[in-house]
Amino acid sequence: MKGVIDEELDNVLYKWFIQKRSANIRDNNPTRSPEFQFEASSGWLEKFKNCHGICQMSIVREKLSSDIEAGISFIAKLQDLIVMEKLTADQIYNFDETGIYWRALPTETLDAENEAVAPGRKKMKDRVMILGCANASGSHRV
């Protein structure tokens, strides 16, 4: 491989990474593993990840199941409704919720670029939920 200083080490680490991923072990950063007793610079790790198509992903409990066609259809219907009802940006609202967790496990892992999602585990239930809401013009925020 181009740019690989120690091909044997590179192959061993990549095989280890694939085994951990196959076993659904998501804390699979070799620099944090007790199985490997070496220190690598962040530059080395970035080059290793780029060489093997590995990227940082957020760990989620369920795989993505979004229906892209339904989303496109919804946007078209919403735009028609906005025009038909003559709604202004002051009358169109959006809200979303988020949570602040403490005592939580890591939420990111290394994974291959072609992976859509990194399956994981349930989050801790110790959290504060926050709901934010605002109109499209930004003149009213809750």
Q: Is residue 61 part of a domain?
A: no
Stated pTM of the model: 0.41
What Å distances lie between residue 107 and 54, 73, 102, 121, CA to CA? Answer: 16, 32, 12, 10
Q: Is residue 23 part of a domain?
A: yes
Instruction: State the residue for tokens 């957020």.
Output: 58
Q: How many structural domains is the chain composed of?
A: 2
**Same domain, yes or no: 42 and 72:** no
**Same domain, yes or no: 74 and 125:** yes
**Same domain, yes or no: 30 and 76:** no
- Which domain does 25 fall in, by range? 7-52
Residue-wise pLDDT for 88-105, tens only, equals: 999 999 999 988 877 766
| DSSP structure class, residue 17 | H
pLDDT of 138 reads 94
Residue-wise pLDDT for 54-70, tens only, equals: 877 766 655 555 678 88
**Same domain, yes or no: 27 and 79:** no
